[in-house]
Chains A and B, each alone.
Chain A
Amino acid sequence: MSESAVTSCPFSGTREYPIKRSNPLDPAPELAEMRAAEPFAKVRLWTGQDAWLVTRYDDVRKLLTDPRVSADNTLPNFPGATPGMLAVRTKYPSFITMDVPEHTQFRRMLTGEFAVKKIEALKPRIQQVVDERIDAILAKGPPSDIVRDLTLALPITMICDLLGVPYEDQDFFHAKADLITDSRTPPDVSSKAIQELCDVYIAGLIERKNLSPTDDLLSRLVVNQLRPGHLTPIQLIGIARLLLIAGHDTSAHTMSLGILALLENPEQKQALIDDPTLINSTVEEILRYVDVTHNGRRRIATADIEIGGHVIRKGEGIIAHNAAANRDADAFPDADKFRIQRDARHHIAFGYGIHQCLGQPLARAELQILIGTLFRRIPSLALAAPISSLEFKETSFVYGVERIPVTWES
């Protein structure tokens, strides 16, 4: 394509993907341009392959529920997100990369564990962890790093409780998770991290559970699924890895970015403090506004699909962009504004279709309790450094912020 063709039409060239943000709490502005002018855009990935980038809410929901759209990352030309994610997924396949009917069979081994009522019963424990953490923050006095001291600590504690993983191991598995999800990690380093996490650490945990099962999810999977042969050891490692990583990183960063969104919108923060019953709609708005899965859901077409005047051909990669869809004004009026009073429940931060996040009742409970309690107990919470000085996880599969220094009136 000639230079002039590129400049005359800003959308005609194949652009590099992912696209960097300009503001830490907003998706890249180019995504809004594409949503308006080119809702099906061809983009070039780090692997050199092309994929369709889909940015409108309705199109994203249609594709994520279309049986001709596959999540099977072993298919040729699958648009993998990072070298680490691709390596981990092919070595330890889990139900998030399976299609119906295998997906149904594996997912149902877990759905009962995350049912709304099961999570309801965990709320007192979540509240206790949050209270203890905030007690410690207040006792130490300002400043504090709210990520390390609170938003990471809660989901890590909960996932350790749930899976029966020793809490002392958190630094180890959190560091490995960071390496696997970061696109800058060289393939040999992520392979090593995966090996240490899966073949050594998780395999060891499972062996111990097999010798003496305790009252936790991993033990139940060992007893009910591994022993009778419904799961192979590799499959169980895949599931445990997914729960351990997806179960803490995403919730932690959603809470961190949600706190930032409230601090950056003081009138919204005040509205929540004045009316704590807004906490549920606040959490849905945070989920809509700060999508941590910022580089989109990865899929591939298994047949030609006609959609929106385009044809996605069999074998072409698809990136269904949740974050862009969640800012689509056709689905959310004034979509770029952070408004905790709006009804945002139909957001797709947890994805859409059969792969929609299994742990969402837990994530919601954690978000509601942590954010609600934090602003109730420390209403004067404020950033201790400008937002522009914070370090965001732009290159990670899971977007987030490394640290949030905060202060308050003590």
Chain B
Amino acid sequence: MRVLIEQARCCGAGQCVLAAPDIFDQREEDGIVILLQENPPEESRADVLQAIKVCPALAIRLED
């Protein structure tokens, strides 16, 4: 499982950090999403899917 983010789209709402704090964080200066793990373990799948579902800017994708 591979997580992809598009920082240009991100509006810094922080929903991904709440859904999957081990996988997403926000840049200190401007709150834009940063990826902590590009290939998270399989047990994080539900959290990643939740983050994708709640991200308002459609900035996160998942590739298997």
Contacts and interface: CB of A to CB of B under 8 A. Distances in A.
A345 interface: yes
Contact of B26 (A64, A116, A354, A357): A116
Interface in A70-112: 104, 107-108, 111-112
A64 B18 CA distance: 22
Contacts of B54: 345-346
Nearest to A351: B56
Given A65-B56, A112-B26, 4 more contacts: A64-B56, A65-B57, A104-B11, A354-B57
B32 interface: yes
A116 B57 contact: no
Contact of A354 (B25, B28, B56): B56
Contact of B12 (A114, A117, A345, A350): A114
Contact of B19 (A113, A345, A357, A364): A345
A357 B13 contact: yes
Contacts of A116: 14, 17-18, 26
B30 interface: yes
B64 interface: no
Interface string A47-66: 00000000000000000110
A360 interface: yes
Interface of B: 8-9, 11-15, 17-19, 25-32, 50, 53-54, 56-58
B55 to A, nearest CB: 9
Contacts of A43: none
A285 B21 CA distance: 21
Interface in A332-370: 345-346, 350-358, 360-361, 364
Contacts of A108: 12, 30-32
Contacts of B9: 354
A223 interface: no
Interface of A: 64-65, 104, 107-108, 111-117, 345-346, 350-358, 360-361, 364
A112 B13 contact: no
A145 B26 CA distance: 38
A356 B13 contact: yes
A206 to B, nearest CB: 22
A114 B14 contact: yes
A360 B13 contact: yes
Contacts of A104: 8, 11
Nearest to A64: B56
Q: Which 5 A-B pairs have the closest CB atoms?
A: A111-B12, A111-B31, A356-B56, A115-B31, A116-B14
Contact of A111 (B8, B32, B50): B32
10 contacts: A111-B26, A114-B12, A114-B31, A115-B14, A115-B27, A116-B26, A354-B56, A354-B57, A355-B11, A358-B11
Nearest to A65: B58
A281 to B, nearest CB: 12
Nearest to B55: A356
Contacts of A111: 11-12, 26, 30-32
Contact of A352 (B19, B31, B56): B56
B61 to A, nearest CB: 14
Contacts of B56: 64-65, 350-354, 356
Contacts of B50: 345
Query: Max chain B CB contacts within 10 Å: which of A64, A107, A111, A350?
Result: A111
Contacts of B19: 345
A41 B54 CA distance: 27
Contacts of B32: 108, 111
Contacts of A113: 31
Nearest to B28: A112
B53 A112 contact: no
A197 to B, nearest CB: 27
B43 to A, nearest CB: 18
Query: Max chain B CB contacts within 10 Å: which of A64, A116, A354, A358?
Result: A116
A97 to B, nearest CB: 15
Contacts of A351: 56
A112 B50 CA distance: 23
